[in-house]
Amino acid sequence: MGDSLKQKMISAVAWSTIEKFGQQVLQFLAGLVFARLLMPEDFGVMGIIMIFVAVSLVLVESGFGQALIRKTDIDSNDYTSVYYFNLATAVAVYLVLFFLAPLIADFFHQDSLVALIRVMSLVIIVNAFYLIPYAQLGRAMDFKTISKVNIIAITGGAVAGITVAFLDFGVWSLVVQQSVYHLLKMMLLHLSVQWQPTGKFSFSIIRNLWDYSLKILFTSLVNVLFNNLFVIILGRSYSKAEAGQFSQGNKLSETFSYTFQSIFAGSTFALFSQLQHDIPRFGRILGEMHRRTALVTIPVVSILIAVASPLITLLWTDKFQPAVIYFQMMSIASVLAPFYTMNLNALNAKGKSGQTMAIELFKKVLIAAGIVLLYRQGIVYMLLAFTIGSLLAYPVSVYFVKKELRLSFRQQIGFLLPGIATAIVTGGAAALIRLLLPLPTVALLAVQGSVAMALYLIIVRLFFRSLFDKFLTFAGNYIPVLKKLAS
């Protein structure tokens, strides 16, 4: 059982990594094209639309996905009941958005939002059709299939959206991109799982799952609203161009920082659910995942912050230079996000969804208070409040994990220290090069990146040899040159 679970864990994390990096590379490449074909205002308008879509998708899912994954005994009636509940909720939410669209357009002073919201919101219903197959794959820890489906769907959506953008349809190209993505995902998941609602609908099943899922739903809703808080503020009180600059800077931050967070969001919950009664093993695995993740994610984020200006100029041209500060601040805010996510998943797997809800409430209240106090000082000061609140939430999660898994505060912080030390050296070197060498954009980015990467490899090779060798062995299965280095 131990070896089987270990193999499942390795496979889950490996395929989640492939999926998330594959997704981000594809979205990144598509974003390069969109940035040259569209204006910042288009991204601002789409950012506003996606707030309502994201909130709606959370309402439709209602936390039942995690509830089904965690449930020890499950049958066709459970799946069927959740399926019909999700579908009915999706139709109801779509109708609400359809009739509220004119009011939303008036609030943001953007008449074009009416048609855009009504069309884009159709993905809410599409999403409801594939939630159960997705949960079944997650329960089985079949992240290989999930990865393939997501990558194919993203590719299809990007091709469709870019084609429409070349035809000069503006923001509608982004709507097409998202719509095709969800349609392809629905079809591919059903082809992969071939599930049909064969059981009976039961309100008692919904009620039994509701006690756990309601807290997940509340937490997810708060997260979505706060993650989009600045798009709401900018879309309402600032120009659509400013909202677009923030949206692009935040999206680039998510491309790197939240890739690591999302890798562990799905795979670790399914794994932790199977470990929920084996506390010593649970703690060892969580600690090892923190230590290895810190050695990669924290240095990467520090380097990206240092190279932000030439990177954004090279990717999106000078018209997106105002997005640099947004990218840097959101990157700082999210640097601890993977560890925070793993901690919350650990607590949720233990059935402590009430604790995770309390942690999220603390985080959001802290952020909201800071934003209210600094609103008149401008967006940068509000982002500072967001950053401080996001970082302070991590030690709170550490406290609750200490109680549940008997991992001391010193142990948990100690898992991160090697990554932090490596980040100071690599990111600091990249920042120093920019201050000392007034080079052209491409040359500056090349020098910064090369020096930072060389320092990183030297540090890992000297001080973390076992991890370095394991990485070469793993990567060598796919890249023959690295296999030779490992031997």
pLDDT digits (tens, 9 = 90+) for 458-472: 998 888 877 766 655
Number of Cβ within a 10 Å radius of residue 2: 8
Q: Is the dihedral of CA 267, 214, 97, 38 positive or negative?
A: negative
Average of per-residue pLDDT across 282-301: 86
Tokens representing 341 are: 């996510």
- What are the tokens at 213? 């899922």
Give the total residue count for the chain: 487
2: confidence class by pLDDT, cuts 50, 70, 90: very low
Predicted confidence (pLDDT) at residue 257 exceeds the cutoff of 60:
yes
Q: Per the confidence metrics, is the pTM higher than 0.85?
A: no
Nearest Cα to Cα of residue 19 among 303, 224, 265: 265
Return the ∠ at Cα 464 (arms to 294 and 270), rounded to 5°: 40
Token pair belonging to 323: 């997005």
Token representation of residue 449: 């990146």
> What are the extents of the domains in the chain?
1-236, 239-487
Mean pLDDT in residue range 245-253:
75
Quickly state the pLDDT bin for 20 (edges 50, 70, 90). Answer: low
Region 141-147: what's the mean pLDDT? 79
**How large is the average pLDDT for residues 435-462?**
91
Mean pLDDT (whole number) for 70-90: 85
Per-residue pLDDT for 421 more than 70?
A: yes
